[in-house]
Amino acid sequence: MRETLVVFRRELRSFFLSPIAYVFGILLVSVLLYYVSEGALQNGARASAEGLFATLPLMLVLFLPGLTMRMWAEERKLGTLELLMTFPVRIGQLVFGKFLACVVYLACVLALTLGLPLTLGAYGKLDWSPVLGSYLASLLFASSFVAVGMFWSSTTRDQMVAMLLSLVSLFVLYQLGNPQNVEYASDWMPAWLVDLVSGLSPHKYFVSIARGVLDSRDIVYFACFCGFFLYANALVLESRRQRG
């Protein structure tokens, strides 16, 4: 645990010292709030942050690969990965420490959007519990995408390749849960396969929590999803280390 915390602190510090994290944060928050605030801040409209959380997943799909691409690829490019491997920590601890740092950084970025719910709460009766639930859902959703992005970052030394692979896979995962696509797929795919494929998308579980119901099934799904990709990440790094 101590080793994980050491890695976590190092990574978190590097986030806040790197300009890319600030550029990422400012772009994500500004674009998101620009699109959302027009609909949300209207006299007579319902005081609800639903618009924010309906737009957030797509924004994360577009922006997160830019953040996760450097997680391992940069280490490999700079040659610091080998140095990291020499530290007295398990690979799992390394992976989890980095993952945790990225999630905490994202939590800080998400916290910057709190201004909108606070404004809604000041001028209307905002139901805060579902909003907090939606923030939790967003964090879980972002975590699952971070796990995917980290995995692709571990497979290549080129950050652009890692970003493109992440972007494509996250976009596919996001679209798998899109009801229109599911309807289209159901025309030519067997129903059980449609259910299975749409069930893979974190978007579906995000929507379930964001509507205001905290369900143990959704939490377990996110935990398993993150666990699977982090484990795959560790396996890739392990095999690389063994290959020398």
Partner 1 sequence: MATPHVRTDSRSRERGSAPALVLHVLLLLVVLAQVVYLASRHRARVDLTSDGLWSTTSSTRDLLARLDKRLVVEAYFSPKEKLPVAVRETRAWADSFLDELVQLGKGNVVVQRFDPNADKAVKDKATRVGVKPLELRSQSSTSLSVDVHWQGLRFVYGGDKNKVVPQFAPGSSFLAEAVITPAIKEVITSQKRRIGYMEWPATNPQGAQAGPLGWNVLRTLDGIAKRYEFQNLKDEDGALLPDDLQTLFLFRPKDLTDRQKYVLDQFVVKGGTLVAFVDAAEYMVGPQRTMTRAPLALDAAGSSQKLTDQLLHYGIDWKPRLVADLSRDAFQPRDPVQGRFEYFAVPQLTPFGQQLSPIEYPYFFHPVAIDWKDAANDLAKDARGQVDKDLAEQYRKLFVPGMPSDEFVFQAWKQQKRGPGFYWPTWVGVRTKAGGAPDLPPDVAGRVLLWSSPLALVEDPPQSLNPIGFGDGQQRLDAYQKFAGKLRERLAAEPRQQAPLMAEVRGRFVSFFAGRERPKRPSEIKEAEAKKAEEEAKQAEAAAKQKDGEQTPPADKRAEDDAAAVATEAPAAERGDRPGRIVVVGDADFLRDDIVRGDHAQAGGPVSGRSAAPFFAQMLDWLAEDKDLVALQSKVATDRSLKLLEETRDPNADPRLHEQALRRKTTWLRALNVVLPGALLAALGLCVYFVRRAQKRTFLSSIG
Site for partner 1 in 99-128 (CB under 8 A): 109, 112-113, 115-116, 119-120, 123-127
CA distance 143 to 120: 27
User: Out of 5, 78, 160, 220, which residue is the one contacting partner 1 (CB under 8 A)?
Assistant: 220
Q: Which residues, at least 6 apart from 21, have a Cβ–Cβ distance to it below 8 Å?
A: 15, 67, 105
User: Out of 1, 2, 34, 79, which residue is the one contacting partner 1 (CB under 8 A)?
Assistant: 34
- Report if residue 66 touches partner 1, rule: CB under 8 A: no
Task: Please identify, using beta-carbon distances, which residue of 160 and 227 lies nearer to partner 1.
Answer: 227
- Report if residue 19 touches partner 1, rule: CB under 8 A: yes
Shortest distance, position 163 Cβ to partner 1, whole Å: 21
Tokens at 49, concatenated: 């942050």
- Overall residue count recorded for the chain in this entry: 244
Shortest distance, position 238 Cβ to partner 1, whole Å: 6
From the list 234, 51, 226, 207, the residue with the least C-alpha distance to 144 is: 226
CA distance 189 to 110: 37
- Report if residue 9 touches partner 1, rule: CB under 8 A: no
User: Out of 182, 201, 202, 203, which residue is the one contacting partner 1 (CB under 8 A)?
Assistant: 182
Count of residues that interact with partner 1, criterion CB under 8 A: 71
Site string for partner 1, 127-166 (x = CB under 8 A): x-xx-xx---------------------------------
From the list 45, 40, 49, the residue with the least C-alpha distance to 135 is: 49
Residue 150: alpha-carbon gap to chain centroid = 10
Task: Please identify, using beta-carbon distances, which residue of 160 and 206 lies nearer to partner 1.
Answer: 206
Tokens at 243, concatenated: 């290959």
Phi, psi of 87 (to 5 degrees): -75, 155
Shortest distance, position 13 Cβ to partner 1, whole Å: 10
- Report if residue 186 touches partner 1, rule: CB under 8 A: yes
User: Out of 45, 78, 160, 168, which residue is the one contacting partner 1 (CB under 8 A)?
Assistant: 45
Q: Are 211 and 129 in contact (CB under 8 A)?
A: no
Q: What is the CA radius of gyration of the chain?
A: 19
